[in-house]
Structure 1
Amino acid sequence: MEDKIVEDIEQIDMSGLELPSFAIYKNPTDYPGKSVARLFEGDKPTNVVLIKKNVRELHSIFRDRTRLTFFPPLPGDSGNLVGVWM
């Protein structure tokens, strides 16, 4: 499934999702040199991604424009996972 890249969080319709979250990755293999927020539904990744130059920009979006809470990665998570906004 091809990724749907969005420019802004307001372009994402989450109304039908029961447990949306966003995993934040720094320099993932599919987007080298970028910082990516991938929308998850429960524990399943979707094809929706928000791409920015750095993690600070992504954190700013979620902190300032959503009611989500940030959780740091757990032991055993991928090395490029910065954390999850839920």
Structure 2
Amino acid sequence: MKQQIIMNSFISVDLNSITMPMITVYKNPSDFPGKFVARLFRLHKPTIIAVVKDTLPEIRMTIPRHMVRLPRHQADDPAILETWI
């Protein structure tokens, strides 16, 4: 498995240095069963930075307020709940 950096929040992460940052939120992904995980993406490529929490509201509190939520697309992986841009 690829190394991951688990952060407490994305609010403290400098997203200005990332080209088109996106945060994708997952429910019950295979690498964190029973958890909600938010992963930081650069364009369409995942970074090694993630936040892991027990609930969706906890995850949403870690996402910077300036980001906008996009609902899950029907073609997305079933574990994906939403993406923030």
Q: How many residues align?
A: 84
Do residues 34 (structure 1) and 35 (structure 2) align?
yes
Do residues 2 (structure 1) and 3 (structure 2) align?
yes
**Which residue does 1:69 correspond to in 2?**
68
Contact 2:11 2:62 in 1 (8 A): no
For residues 18 and 62 of structure 2, the distance between their equivalents in structure 1, rounded to whole angstroms, comes to 20
SS of 1:15 mapped into structure 2:
helix
For residues 19 and 37 of structure 1, the distance between their equivalents in structure 2, rounded to whole angstroms, comes to 16
Bigger drift between 24-33 and 10-19 goes to 10-19
SS of 1:10 mapped into structure 2:
coil
Unpaired runs of 5+ residues, structure 2, are: none
For 1:74, the aligned partner's letter is H
For residues 75 and 67 of structure 1, the distance between their equivalents in structure 2, rounded to whole angstroms, comes to 25
**Which residue does 2:49 correspond to in 1?**
48
For residues 61 and 4 of structure 1, the distance between their equivalents in structure 2, rounded to whole angstroms, comes to 15
SS of 2:61 mapped into structure 1:
helix
The alpha-carbon deviation at position 36 of structure 1 amounts to 0.4
**Which residue does 1:58 correspond to in 2?**
59
Higher percent of residues as helix: 1
For residues 62 and 50 of structure 2, the distance between their equivalents in structure 1, rounded to whole angstroms, comes to 13
